Amino acid sequence: SERSDKLLKLTLQGYRLGEIGLLALLDTQRTFIISRENYYNALRNYYFRLIELEKHISQEIVFTD
């Protein structure tokens, strides 16, 4: 996640300075969005699995104090 953030920032800076073309910027933005989407999907799946596990062990894992 940090690497995709850094890549996007550097690409935007390069585009503003005229060192990188529009297609490279758009490709980097697409990569960034896909990376974020994959991260949130993995996080969602993780919590779904924890909730399923909670059903079987009768103990709360996700929302404990």
State the CB neighbour count (10 A cutoff) for residue 11. 20
| pTM across the whole model | 0.74
Task: Name the residue with higher pLDDT: 8 or 59.
Answer: 8
Contact indicator for 7, 36 with CB cutoff of 8 Å = no
Q: Note the pLDDT of residue 65.
A: 63
Give pLDDT tens digits for 9-57. 999 999 999 999 999 999 999 999 999 999 999 999 999 998 888 888 8
In a 10 Å sphere around its CB, with 0-12 CB exposed, 13-18 middle and 19+ buried, how is residue 2 labelled?
Answer: exposed
- The answer to whether residue 6 scores a pLDDT higher than 80 is yes
Contact indicator for 32, 12 with CB cutoff of 8 Å = no
